Structure 1
Amino acid sequence: MTESPHQDRTAPHQGQRTVSDPATLKALAHPLRLRILRRLATAGPATATALAAVLDQNTGTLSYHLRQLERAGLVEDDPHHTTNGRERWWRGVRGTEVRRPPRSDLSAAERVAVEELDRAHLQEDIDLVRRHADRPAEEDEWAPGSRSTLHLTQEELREFHDAYLELLQRFRRHRTEAGPDTRPVAVRWFGIPLDDPRD
């Protein structure tokens, strides 16, 4: 699953499903659900019991959140595993791209859900930054980064964002299509003005 924090002008890649409805965003606005989706994306299909063990949760809690994600169309049964009356195998819905609508298009209640999702994403990103800072020396080649300051117009910032999304598409491949030397890598980009418009 891919998240884009902005409504952008680029068309979804062939085979991708774009979701931006408030109900789906509300279903995502839970830290454990984001962890479930990350785990399915990086490690592949799993049962609720297996997910509960690796995410340090009980099976009942995992099953509840999986059902909420299923209702939102974000997870589904894995067709390569038959249940035969046993536990279901779950996988993330392939090609799903989540895009946040402009806040001006949202009701007050919908804005609350989107803000909850933003906070969950922020905490996840803070954890990733800590992992980056604490990485062992042998991981340096797997953890490049860049910090820059640009002087841009609003239109240029939008162009930069669209170009970033196009670059993601160029390198995107599903876990099952990845070669033996690949690893799941978190990639993040955001832009924020450094000046205060009130000054």
Structure 2
Amino acid sequence: MVEPSFHVTDPGMLRALAHPFRQRILWELAVRKYGRAADLAVVMGEPANTISYHLRALAQAGLVEGAPEFARDGRDRVWRLTHPEGLSASSDSPAADILETEQLEWMRDIVTERLPRQPGAARGVYLGAAMLTEAEANQMFEEVVEVLERWREHGAQVVSNYPADVSRIFHRIAALVGNR
């Protein structure tokens, strides 16, 4: 069963989400389960102090929290998402634009092949249609999400066991079901 996303209504969360770099940090934490500023700095190509600043802003907004069980010692600061199920907002809320704009731009760039291909990245697009009842469409979507979640969990586990594996890079995946 697809877990419902956390509904964002807090203005502080909205301000924190408005920054595209913070959105990228949230994506990285989603695929890795947890991370240190120094680890995120390596994969994102930004200074660790910049990442730390944005992590603190995300923590103040309630979007990330400390994960001391993954720390190497008392000085090691490790972070994880407070809402790993994802974020959503009402369509009439300004938050919807903040949460959707970056994802929609990514999808448009993938479909039109305007997104620069990172070395080692895979790319695939499947756009199809099927004649289904509402129940069948919901079942199909649940099955697709189960497959995607299984692979997300696999990637997070491998990265946790082999953090220096440079052949593993960030890939976004979308699953959409609807009519018209």
Relative to the length of structure 1, the TM-score reads 0.58
Aligned ranges 1:1-199 → 2 under 5 Å: 13=3, 18-23=5-10, 24-78=13-67, 79-85=69-75, 87-93=76-82, 95-103=84-92, 111-129=93-111, 130=113, 143-148=123-128, 156=134, 160=137, 162-163=138-139, 165-171=141-147, 172-173=149-150, 174=153, 175-176=156-157, 186-190=172-176, 193=180
Equivalent-residue separation in structure 1 for 2:115 and 2:89 (angstroms): 26
Contact 2:106/2:115 (8 A) holds in 1: no
Deviations 1:128-181 (A, max 9, x none): 454888588x97xx65432235789xx95x973x44541244322332389x9x
Equivalent-residue separation in structure 1 for 2:83 and 2:107 (angstroms): 23
Aligned-CA RMSD value: 4.1
Bigger relative contact order, structure 1 or 2 (CA pairs below 8 A, ≥6 apart) = 1
Equivalent-residue separation in structure 2 for 1:192 and 1:27 (angstroms): 33
Unaligned residue ranges in structure 1 (runs of 5+): 1-10, 104-110, 194-199
Deviations 1:91-142 (A, max 9, x none): 3347423233242xxxxxxx33321222122233345454888588x97xx6
Relative to the length of structure 2, the TM-score reads 0.62
Q: Which has the larger radius of gyration?
A: 1
Unaligned residue ranges in structure 2 (runs of 5+): 163-167
Residue identity opposite 1:22 in structure 2: T
Cα 1:164–1:98 change in 2 (3 A) is: farther
Equivalent-residue separation in structure 1 for 2:43 and 2:169 (angstroms): 19
